[in-house]
């Protein structure tokens, strides 16, 4: 069954539902990206992070969207951060329960449609690990072009290497 998606700008009204989404999916997310740290998963730490994101969004430095289903349940997040001179950086995460359902591909398409219609951002950068083939496919299906691969020599996870992508209108 196909899920009907919508993107909704982040607001403080979403705090409890988003906190639950992040806690439920923490282990899954941390298999693919570095941890956001223990403080992020405390109620007070998460509250402060939410307030900061909403403020940043209000000041037009970033766009934070929740990917919701037809019942308004959160199934993912998609963001454009560091918006300057009509360029920004794309990031997204889909809850484990919905992986493999083409939700990320559709959410990126919906976001690009919004950005084109609003003429807010004319180019985006994105990155994914070299092992995350699914994310590479999502980006490529939405017109992102691979730019370069970079090895990350981080002491925390020296095996992480990234592919950088770019999309332009």
- Tell me the per-residue pLDDT of 49-96, one tens digit each, with 9 for 90 and over: 999 999 999 997 799 999 999 999 999 999 999 998 889 999 999 999
Closest CA to 111 of 138, 137, 134: 138
Residue 65: strand, helix, or coil: strand
Q: Are 112 and 133 in contact (CB under 8 A)?
A: no
Write down the pLDDT at residue 155: 53
Q: Give the range of the structural domain holding residue 53, as residue numbers without chain letter.
A: 6-168
Q: Are 137 and 128 in contact (CB under 8 A)?
A: no
- Domain-embedded: residue 86: yes
Rounded CA gap, 5 and 150, in Å? 33
Write down the pLDDT at residue 31: 81
Residue 112: strand, helix, or coil: helix
For 5-16, how does the pLDDT look when each residue is reduced to its tens digit (9 = 90+)?
999 999 999 999
- Domain-embedded: residue 128: yes
Write down the pLDDT at residue 34: 72
Q: Write out the H or E segment, with its range, that includes residue 15.
A: helix 15-30
Q: Residue 156 — very low, low, confident or very high, per pLDDT cuts 50/70/90?
A: low
- Domain-embedded: residue 57: yes
Q: Are 166 and 124 in contact (CB under 8 A)?
A: yes
Q: Write out the H or E segment, with its range, that includes residue 94.
A: strand 87-94
36 pLDDT higher than 80 = yes
Phi/psi of residue 77, nearest 5 degrees: -135, 150
Could you tell me the CATH number of the domain that includes residue 67?
Answer: 3.40.630.30
For 104-113, how does the pLDDT look when each residue is reduced to its tens digit (9 = 90+)?
999 999 999 9
Write down the pLDDT at residue 33: 74
User: Domains in the chain: how many in total?
Assistant: 1
153 pLDDT higher than 90 = no
158 pLDDT higher than 60 = no
- Domain-embedded: residue 1: no
Q: Residue 2 — very low, low, confident or very high, per pLDDT cuts 50/70/90?
A: confident
Q: What is the DSSP letter of 153?
A: -
């Amino acid at each position: 069954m196909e899920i009907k998606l919508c993107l909704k700008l982040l607001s403080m009204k979403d705090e409890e539902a988003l906190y639950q989404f992040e806690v439920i999916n923490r282990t899954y997310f941390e298999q693919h990206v570095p941890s956001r740290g223990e403080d992020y998963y405390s109620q007070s730490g998460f509250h402060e992070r939410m307030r900061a994101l909403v403020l940043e969004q209000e000041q037009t430095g970033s766009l934070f969207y929740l990917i919701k289903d037809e019942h308004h349940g959160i199934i993912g997040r998609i963001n454009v951060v560091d918006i300057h001179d009509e360029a920004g950086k794309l990031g997204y995460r889909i809850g484990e329960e919905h992986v493999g359902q083409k939700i990320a591909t559709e959410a990126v398409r919906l976001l690009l449609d919004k950005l084109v219609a609003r003429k807010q951002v004319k180019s985006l950068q994105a990155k994914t690990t070299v092992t995350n083939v699914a994310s590479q496919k999502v980006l490529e299906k939405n017109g992102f072009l691979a730019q370069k691969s970079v090895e990350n020599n981080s002491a925390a996870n020296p095996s992480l290497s990234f592919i950088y992508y770019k999309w332009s209108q």
